[in-house]
Amino acid sequence: MPFTSLGLSPALLRAVSAHGYLAPTPVQAAAIPATLQGRDVLGCAQTGSGKTAAFALPLLQHLESAPQHSPRRALVLVLVPTRELCTQVGEEIRKLALHLPRPLKVAMVFGGVSINPQMMRLRGGTDVVVATPGRLLDLVAHNALSLGSVATLVLDEADRLLDLGFAEELARLLTLLPPKRQNLFFSATFPAAVQALAQSLLHEPVRIEVLPTSQSLPDITQRAIAVDAGRRTQLLRHLIGQHQWRRVLVFVATKHAAEIVADKLRKARIYAEPFHGELSQGKRTQVLADFKASRLKVVVATDVAARGLDIAQLPVVVNYDLPRSAVDYLHRIGRTARAGESGVAVSFVSADTEAHFRLIEKRQHLSLPLEQIEGFEPVQTAAEVAPSGGGIKGKRPSKKDKLRQAARLGADAAPATGAASKT
């Protein structure tokens, strides 16, 4: 199906072809006509499916014929869970709006940076505001923006919004919106809380489902490599050298591990930086910009980077620590093979995390051979490894176990907490 059959205006068709998009993705083909008709949409789509343009194109078309925004008011509100996603979505909307007959104003507002410039920018009003919930509420409290003219609400990554504890802010924001509006609701997963929110928010929505299974990511080669927890950094260095990986996103379980693994890589002359929620916004932006511009080879990140980030030409994702859940696994590996490219996702599996990995595999309907790399064959067995935080159920760690564990922690960065730690 070509873009021309979706009912988009000439200006937007120009923008789409300037972007090099040849045909709509499945979520775009389904969401664009429904949104143009003014329907509410409930989209189950994973990141990388093209969902930003799926909601941005029709709402830009509505704005083409909408009256000019008034001071301190916004016509479209896009709520996103993270600062990075805010910038990414805002920039994509701006690009798609480039050829519209009147210049549109798209404001991006998020926390972690000074509020004053954002207040100044909103003074004249805005067509679109892309926001994280907390900062948006602050701006409303400062009378910098009223949400009383919002005609369209987009909730992007609704599951993540709730995961990150935004439920209360969301509920407060919803009371500030006019009751009559169009709602576009996107989420990669639909746990009970997300379903309840969707039900309370949407009016006879058009349901769109792009199945979130790893089989629907055909261009990602998934690998599992068995390695002792204490040798993961060495193995990572080996793989980077052997495969000449240009750009690698490495996921770890904790901020501490992100710092230490990045540090170890730098000491081995591999230019790496950590990326986690405790870094300043300036630092996070800098790391991403350096990574995207290939000034950085490796980013070692917590799950803060797992959702929504769009890094073109990211050939490799490594699960140094396994993710907590099958859904997180999907989000992490979805950072590679974006927009029709191919990619590799490697998971390091050690004796104490193998059972957890098998569970992820089962939930993702996967069956990966557990590879061994010459020189890195694991020697530890599950019985020998006492995971931190109490050891294997039913087995108290012996003195020898504790000594082994201490040696392992000293030898490597991240304690082998596997999936349990918070980011």
Residues lying near ligand AMP in the complex (CB under 6 A) are found at: 21, 24-25, 28, 47-53, 310, 338-339
Nearest one of 395, 399, 364, 362 to 381, comparing CA atoms: 395
Q: Determine the residue type at 304.
A: V
Structure tokens at 332: 């992490």
DSSP per-residue letters across 167-221: HHHHHHHHHHS-SS-EEEEEES---HHHHHHHHHH-SSPEEEE---SGGG-TTEE
CB of 258 to ligand AMP, least distance (A): 23
Nearer to ligand AMP, 293 or 379 (CB): 293
Residue 86 beta carbon to ligand AMP: minimum distance, rounded to whole angstroms: 13
CB of 316 to ligand AMP, least distance (A): 17
- For CA atoms 228, 383, 401, 417, give the dihedral sign: positive
* Spatial distance between the Cα atoms of 414 and 278, rounded to a whole number of angstroms: 17
Cβ 53 to ligand AMP, closest distance in Å? 5
Minimum distance from residue 167 beta carbon to ligand AMP (Å): 24
Which residue lies nearer to ligand AMP by CB, 92 or 290? 92
Closest distance between ligand AMP and the C-beta of residue 35, in Å?
Answer: 14
For ligand AMP, give the closer residue by CB, 232 or 332: 332
Distance CA 391, CA 253 (A): 18
Provide the 10 A C-beta neighbour count for residue 141. 9
Query: 47 vs 254, which CB is nearer to ligand AMP?
Result: 47
Q: Which is nearer to ligand AMP, 24 or 230 (CB)?
A: 24
Q: Is 365 exposed, middle or buried (0-12, 13-18, 19+ CB in 10 A)?
A: exposed
The first and second tokens of residue 10, run together, are 């000439």
Q: Which helix (H) or strand (E) holds 95?
A: helix 83-96
CB of 54 to ligand AMP, least distance (A): 7
> Closest Cα to residue 346, out of 377, 323, 375?
323
- Axis crossing angle, helix 83-96 with helix 51-64, rounded to the nearest 10: 50
- When the beta carbons of 28 and 417 are compared against ligand AMP, the nearer one is 28
Q: What is the DSSP letter of 86?
A: H
Residue 53 burial by Cβ neighbours in a 10 Å radius (0-12, 13-18, 19+) = buried
Task: Indicate the residue among 110 and 186 with the shorter CB distance to ligand AMP.
Answer: 186
Closest C-alpha to 257, from 413, 39, 405: 413
Q: Which is nearer to ligand AMP, 120 or 211 (CB)?
A: 211
The token pair at 189 is 């997963």
Report the residue count for the chain.
423
For Cα atoms 217, 218, 222, give the angle at the middle one, nearest 5 degrees: 85
- Name the minimum Å distance from CB 124 to ligand AMP: 28
DSSP 67: P
Distance CA 100, CA 17 (A): 14
Q: Which is nearer to ligand AMP, 21 or 190 (CB)?
A: 21
Asked if 387 contacts 418 with a C-beta cutoff of 8 angstroms, the reply is yes
CA 276 remoteness from chain centre: 13
Q: Which is nearer to ligand AMP, 89 or 139 (CB)?
A: 89
Residue (160 or 231) nearer to ligand AMP, CB: 160
